[in-house]
Structures are given as C-alpha cells and as structure tokens.
Amino acid sequence: MNNWLEKQFKLSKFHTNVKTELLAGVTTFVTMAYVLATVPNILGGAGLDKHVVLTTMVLLIILTSCAMALYTNRPFALAPGLGSVGIVASMITNEGISPSITAGVIFWSGILFIIISFLGLREAVVRVIPVSLKHAVSAGIGLFIALLGAKNCGLIIANEAKNNLAFGDLASPTVLVAVIGFILLLIIRVRNIPGGMILAIFLTTIIGIPFGVTKLPASPVSLPANIGEQFLNIDFIGALNFAYIPFLIALFVPDFFSTFGTVLGVGAKAGYLDKDGNLPGIDKCFKVDAIATSFGALFGMPSMTTYLESSAGVEAGGKTGLTVIFTSLCFALALFFAPLALIIPSAATSPVLIFIGINMLSGMRNIDYTDLTECVPAFICVTFTIFANNIANGICVAIPAYVIMKIAAGKIKKIEPVMYVLVAVCLLYFYTIV
C-alpha cells in the first residue's frame, strides 16, 4: 500500500508522508464540515428535500474531490459554492424558476466552463493576469477567509444601525470559546506541535461543551437518503431560454474568477507557484472543476467548485492529492455519522480560518510599491474582495483599474491583449448585478 501511495502521490518528492496527509485531510474536512448543515438548509428553504440534498452533496464531494486528487495530485477539495447555492435558491424562490430548469442553467454554465477549460483558455487567462494581481488575489482571499471565520463565530457582525461591520457580543459563549480557541491555536503553532490545526479544533470543541456551544447529538448515526428522485431532474432545453442568460452569467463569472483565485491562493500557500506566479498543471485543476459543475447539475446541485477551506489542509502540511482522499473518506463517514460531524461548532473552526487568512497576506510583500500601476490595482483587489464580500468582485474591479492605469501611464505595451477581453467580461458581470 505504501509503495502505491508513493507512486501515485509522490509523497517523498513533496517532502510529506501519510501521517501528515491524514492530519491535513481531517483538518480540511472539519473546516468544511459546515456545508453539511448550510447547503441542505439553504436549498431546503427553496423547497428541495434537505435529506436528499445532504446525501447528494456528500457523494458529489467525494467523487469530485477524489477526481481532483487522482488527476492533479493537488490538495484541493470541491463542494457546492455557497455563492452559487444562494443564487440557485433565489432562482427557485424569488424568480419562480423550476428546479429542473435551474439545474439546466447550472449544467450549461458547466459546459461553458468545460469548453474554455479544454481549449486552454482558462489557463491562458490566468497566465496573462499580472503577477502583482496574482499576489493580491491570494491576499484578498486570505482576508476573505479571516473575515468568514470572524463572522461565523459572531466575533464580527453586520451592524444594521450603522450600516457597517462591528464587533458582535463579545460576552457571548460562542465568541468566548472562539477567542480561547484562537489563543490555543497561537500557542500550538508557536510551539510547532504536530497536527496543531486539528488538535486546536478538537480542544476547542471540548471546551465548548460546558459553554453550551458544542451540542452533543441525541444519536450519533443517520442513514443516507435515496437520491433517485433528484437524479436527472433537469430540463436541458428549457434552460436555453434567452431569459435565463443573466442567471447563466451570474453563475459563470463569479465561479470562473473565484476558482482561479482559490487555486492560485491555496497553491501559493502550498508553495506551488513558479517565479511568474503561475501554478504548473493548473489546467488540470480547471478541467476537473469544470466537469464537476456539469456533473453536479445532473443531480440538481449548484456549482461544484474548489473550496477555500482547502487552505486549512495546506496549512496543516498537506501537499498532495492524498490530503483530499482522506478528506473524502471523512465525508464518506459523515454519510452515516453526520450528527457527530455536526457537533464541531463554528467557534472551533473559526480560529483556524482567521489564522490561515492572516498567513495568506504574506504575498503582498512581493508587490512593487514604487509603481502605482502595480500596487494600486493590487490594493483595490484586496480591499474590494472584503468590501464587496466576494472574491470575484475584487478581481472584477481590479482588472479594469489595472488596464486604465497602465494606459494612463503610457505603458500600454505591457498590457496583454487578453486583458481587454477580461475587462469586457468584468463589465458584463457588473451589468448583470446592477
């Protein structure tokens, strides 16, 4: 077995081992485990059977993540993008679009992904993105992850009265447990204790019991649902109606930019990027991601995409696809032991996300701050990722700003022709959300 693992995942080449990959895989799982509750609840509110959604989602996570692991040997796990989940729920509930047509729209957005991925266009786009913006994407994702962690535990909330973000109830049990967990994590990381991430999550989960934050389940076991009723409930032809093009664009563009942003960001953290900020073999990652979206649509599942939480496994030492093989095994167990997976509170995973986000800011040191045409668009990318609460929004603001500043500075020759196409795509995206 060890020989096969070495041959398949090249563990020694990446200076890792089975134990490290196992701990990293479990870490990725526990930081992603919230999807077991959030996605079924959101789609359940749109009228879908949440138990069927849960079973379908877990099976798709396993299949697509294993495909990513075996085909690319990268520690990237896939799951339904929460932005896409929100769009799909809105299409069904607010727009009155049937689940079958909605699934068709998802399918065709995936086909669009497949076409541009297999033609090499996605890789070409990533290669023409300036190095400064690539580092900014990674940093923006880092702040986005940190903010996500802070919001999940209630440390940071949206203050409606002042129309801004602010501290939540600092005396609440969830926030107190999260703060304790963050302090524990800092101590563990400074002491370089092996398996620090998963240890911090485990200890914080236990600490949460007397606070009432960690709620023990009535039963540790649950049986998977029958997914037959949701399979192929899809209207391929009906989804081609011109009226659904805005929804197709709304699903496609954010996923396009978010996916390459996530892959670059997590890849940078894992040390995969070359001197030009490119990720070797990124085309393989895009192909898996693209096929996963269309395949998931056959089951009515919103866009399957590479997950930011993969960075938790990378931070824990994961370097190869074996990391997400172990993540997939954990999700397989969750099919039967979902109640146990769900006892891990957000207060236990939030400190990990905040810590990872802080670490991902390190890429900003590689930006030339003496050149305004490089540092300002990079800063815009980072800030608007947070201000507009979306990775794609930050990128779509930064690309036009970069082109405009280069033209204004008389550096038009440094602009790749594809960048003008990207500007048009960004403007089209903003048109659909106005």
For residue 186, what pLDDT is reported? 92
Residue with the larger pLDDT of the pair 288 and 255: 288
For residue 174, what pLDDT is reported? 94
CA 214 – CA 218 distance, rounded (Å): 13
Residue whose C-alpha is closest to residue 361's, from 337, 384, 335, 379: 379
Q: Is the pLDDT of residue 222 over 80?
A: no
For residue 211, what pLDDT is reported? 93
For residue 254, what pLDDT is reported? 65
Q: Is the pLDDT of residue 182 over 90?
A: yes
Q: Is the pLDDT of residue 209 over 90?
A: yes
| Region 63-83 average pLDDT | 88
pLDDT class for 276, splitting at 50, 70, 90?
low
In this structure, what DSSP letter does residue 82 have? H
CA 407 – CA 314 distance, rounded (Å): 38
Task: Answer yes or no: are the C-beta atoms of 52 and 229 closer than 8 Å.
Answer: yes
Per-residue pLDDT tens over the stretch 146-157? 887 888 889 998
Q: Is the pLDDT of residue 82 over 80?
A: no
Computed over every residue of the chain, the mean pLDDT equals 83
Q: Which two tokens stand for residue 225?
A: 């649902």
For residue 141, what pLDDT is reported? 74
* Residue matched to tokens 């138990």: 51
Q: Could you tell me which residues come within 8 angstroms of residue 118 by beta carbon, excluding any fewer than 6 positions away?
A: 287, 290
Helix H, strand E, coil C: the string for 322-348 is HHHHHHHHHHHHHHHHHHHHCCCCHHH
Q: Is the pLDDT of residue 405 over 90?
A: yes
Encoded amino acid at 240, one letter? L
DSSP, collapsed to helix, strand or coil, labels residue 15 as: coil
DSSP, collapsed to helix, strand or coil, labels residue 306 as: strand
Q: Is the pLDDT of residue 326 over 70?
A: yes
Task: Answer yes or no: are the C-beta atoms of 354 and 41 closer than 8 Å.
Answer: no
Residue whose C-alpha is closest to residue 140's, from 396, 401, 390: 390
Task: Answer yes or no: are the C-beta atoms of 380 and 133 closer than 8 Å.
Answer: no
CA 170 – CA 183 distance, rounded (Å): 15
Instruction: Name the least confident of 92-106, 215-229, 358-372.
Output: 215-229
In this structure, what DSSP letter does residue 129 have? S
Residue whose C-alpha is closest to residue 364's, from 355, 376, 351, 350: 376
CA 421 – CA 125 distance, rounded (Å): 10
| Helices 35-45, 82-93: inter-axial angle, 10-degree rounding | 20
Encoded amino acid at 29, one letter? F
Q: How many CA atoms lie within 13 A of 405 on its CB side?
A: 15
For residue 203, what pLDDT is reported? 92
pLDDT class for 375, splitting at 50, 70, 90?
very high
Q: Is the pLDDT of residue 403 over 80?
A: yes
Q: Is the pLDDT of residue 277 over 70?
A: no
Q: Is the pLDDT of residue 240 over 80?
A: yes
Instruction: Name the least confident of 8-22, 124-138, 166-180.
Output: 124-138
CA 227 – CA 231 distance, rounded (Å): 6
For residue 160, what pLDDT is reported? 77
Instruction: Name the least confident of 136-140, 142-146, 257-261, 420-424.
Output: 257-261
pLDDT class for 207, splitting at 50, 70, 90?
very high
Q: How many beta carbons lie within 10 A of that of residue 431, not counting itself?
A: 10
